[in-house]
């Protein structure tokens, strides 16, 4: 079979049932597709449905409409090159559950103001570099001790350890690439197990955040450049790469990777990304590569 539909559930929201799988199979056959026996990657959570190219209109939209109504994630892709050898992942609201700069701002008593700018930047409504400079300038004078206090409160997204460790143990190179700051990415990359991290540097002098950001700023273009640079350096074809994130500054790397995944993303990102995960945790990125639950490394 040339293509595969992967259905993924968050069982806490709605389990994946054999009935749902049968409904998707029926849609494929209705559109002239030949299917083979569904392959369950994890009971009640993930299932592959391999199929050949359809003889009539492509069924993707109908399948995605059905699964969205059922709160089931759905990724449709070629069967070839499913397991990726390079992973690039955004940090804020992807590998961790929050926006670290917003949480730092909470200690300065200005979370609401900074979070509003963050939201607009992540939606692509304002320039990322300008938004970053503006937000950091508002933190000028804050003690650098606030960085440690913020780090202690950061929570990892469910499945982060499993995603990175499983891909690493299967030969993939993993990179945390963030428009956030190195104080946080260094710690999170080490905690989760990424090979390396790339991010921005917040200027600190005499234990005080100055309100400045070291140039050049790592933005959407730098994320794409990182994808291309590491792909070339590691001799990994782009078709064998995966990029994931939630914000507009992640779109270039998402659109140019072998498989780009919008993870619980802003509407613009979800609309343009080749694949989207709305309901599942980060282990969904393993299921869409064809990994079975028993292959995960915890």
251-294 residue pLDDT tens: 999 999 999 999 999 999 999 999 999 999 999 999 999 999 99
What pLDDT score does 115 carry?
95
Is the domain of 2 the same as that of 92? no
Is the domain of 115 the same as that of 10? no
Q: Which residues are catalytic?
A: 90, 92
Is the domain of 186 the same as that of 249? yes
214-244 residue pLDDT tens: 999 999 999 999 999 999 999 999 999 999 9
Residue-wise burial string across 46-81, b where 16 or more C-beta atoms lie within 10 A, e elsewhere = bbbbbbeebeeeebeeebbebbeebebbbbbbeeee
Read off the pLDDT band of 55 (50, 70, 90): low
Is the domain of 21 the same as that of 120? no
Average confidence score pLDDT of the chain: 95
Is the domain of 160 the same as that of 291? yes
Tell me the whole-structure pTM to 2 decimals. Answer: 0.95
Which residues constitute the domain of residue 41?
A: 1-80
Residue with tokens 């979800």: 270
Report the CATH number at residue 8. Answer: 3.30.70.260
70-84 residue pLDDT tens: 999 999 999 999 999
Give the Cα separation of 116 and 113 in Å (integer). Answer: 5
Read off the pLDDT band of 191 (50, 70, 90): very high
**Average pLDDT over every residue of 80-103:** 97
pLDDT reading at 60 higher than 80: no
Q: How many domains does the chain have?
A: 2
């Amino acid at each position: 079979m040339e293509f595969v539909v992967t259905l993924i559930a968050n069982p806490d929201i709605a389990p994946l049932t054999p009935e749902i799988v049968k409904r998707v199979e029926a849609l494929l056959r209705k559109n002239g597709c030949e299917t083979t026996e569904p392959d369950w990657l994890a009971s009640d959570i993930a299932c592959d449905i391999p199929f050949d190219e359809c003889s009539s209109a492509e069924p993707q939209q109908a399948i995605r409409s059905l699964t969205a109504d059922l709160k089931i994630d759905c990724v449709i892709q070629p069967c070839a090159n499913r397991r990726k050898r390079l992973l690039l992942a955004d940090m804020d609201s992807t590998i961790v559950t929050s926006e670290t700069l917003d949480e730092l701002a909470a200690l300065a008593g200005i979370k609401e103001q900074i979070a509003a700018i963050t939201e607009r930047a992540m939606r692509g409504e304002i320039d990322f570099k300008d938004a970053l400079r503006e937000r950091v300038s508002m933190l000028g004078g804050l003690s650098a001790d606030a960085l440690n206090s913020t780090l202690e409160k950061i929570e990892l997204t469910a499945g982060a350890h499993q995603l990175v460790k499983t891909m690493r143990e299967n030969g993939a190179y993993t990179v945390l690439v963030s428009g956030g700051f190195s104080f946080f990415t260094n710690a999170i990359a080490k905690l989760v197990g990424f090979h390396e991290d790339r991010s921005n540097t917040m200027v600190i002098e005499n234990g005080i955040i100055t309100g400045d950001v070291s140039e050049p700023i790592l933005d959407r273009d730098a994320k794409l450049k990182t994808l291309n640079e590491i792909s070339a350096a590691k001799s990994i074809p782009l078709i064998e790469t995966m990029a994931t994130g939630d914000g507009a500054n992640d779109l270039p790397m998402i659109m140019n990777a072998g498989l780009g995944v919008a993870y619980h993303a802003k509407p613009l990102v979800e609309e343009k990304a080749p694949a989207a995960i709305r309901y599942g945790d980060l282990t969904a990125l393993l299921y869409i590569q064809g990994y079975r639950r028993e292959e995960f490394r915890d």
